[in-house]
Amino acid sequence: MTAIAVQAHRLLAPRRPNRSFFESFIRTLIIVCAALAIVLSSVSICDGHWLLAEDHLFGLWYFCTTSSQNGPRCLSNLNQAHVPGLAMGMVLARSVATLAVVTAIFGLELLMVSQVCEDLHSRRKWAMGSILLLISFTLSSGGLLSFVVLLRKQVTLTGFTLMFWCEFTSSFLFFLNAISGLHINSITYPWGQPQKV
């Protein structure tokens, strides 16, 4: 009798409507792009060299001087760069940028879980993952902005290194994926609920 009751409950339980190929493709694309943004941001922060100004290389972790006779000489003591507030400012910049990556990892995990374990809460998990990506964008942008403000006298458009542009790109991808994720969640009906005509 119990087995019959379980089968009857399964038949009467609301089912999630089948998603279209287009919706599945967009959600998969958002997940892949978010993962790519996390990789770009991680590599950029670990390398940390973001600005080349004449014979000085400024980074999140080191300050380097370069010359034609000798190789680059890097110092972890950023006070020797003789830029006011650089040492304390870089602590803030790298902390915020690192926190952005950690937040994005949790956001990506929620996005993937919402697609793998499809239930009535999947839509909420997807929305929460998108919001975490939006927070990652805010933190990543804050790290970039604080770096540029600290070194505003040395900044030139051609002085930014590839690692800086990787962080800039990842910040943009965080924003794009977060907004796209929230948008696709808003235009699709909640799973397990009947559609309104």
Question: Could you give the C-alpha distances from 21 to 24, 93, 122, 190, in angstroms and in order?
Answer: 5, 41, 18, 17
CA quadruple 39, 41, 47, 51: dihedral sign: positive
CA quadruple 148, 151, 157, 159: dihedral sign: negative
* Residue from 15, 10, 9 nearest 119 by CA: 15
Q: Are 139 and 103 in contact (CB under 8 A)?
A: yes
What would the two tokens of residue 137 be? 């964008």
pLDDT for position 197: 40
The continuous run of DSSP H or E covering 90 comes out as: helix 86-116
**What is the C-alpha separation between 171 and 40, in angstroms, rounded?**
9
Mapping DSSP to helix (H, G, I), strand (E, B) and coil, where does residue 72 land?
coil
One pLDDT digit (tens) per residue for the chain, 197 residues: 455 554 544 554 455 556 677 888 999 999 999 999 999 999 999 988 888 888 888 888 888 887 766 667 777 777 777 788 888 888 999 999 999 999 999 999 999 998 888 777 788 899 999 999 999 999 999 999 999 998 888 888 888 999 999 999 999 999 999 999 999 888 875 544 544 44
CA quadruple 115, 133, 96, 64: dihedral sign: positive
pLDDT for position 137: 96
pTM as predicted? 0.80
Amino acid 127 reads: A
User: Residue 51: beta bridge partners?
Assistant: 58, 160
Which residue is associated with the tokens 């010359």?
A: 67
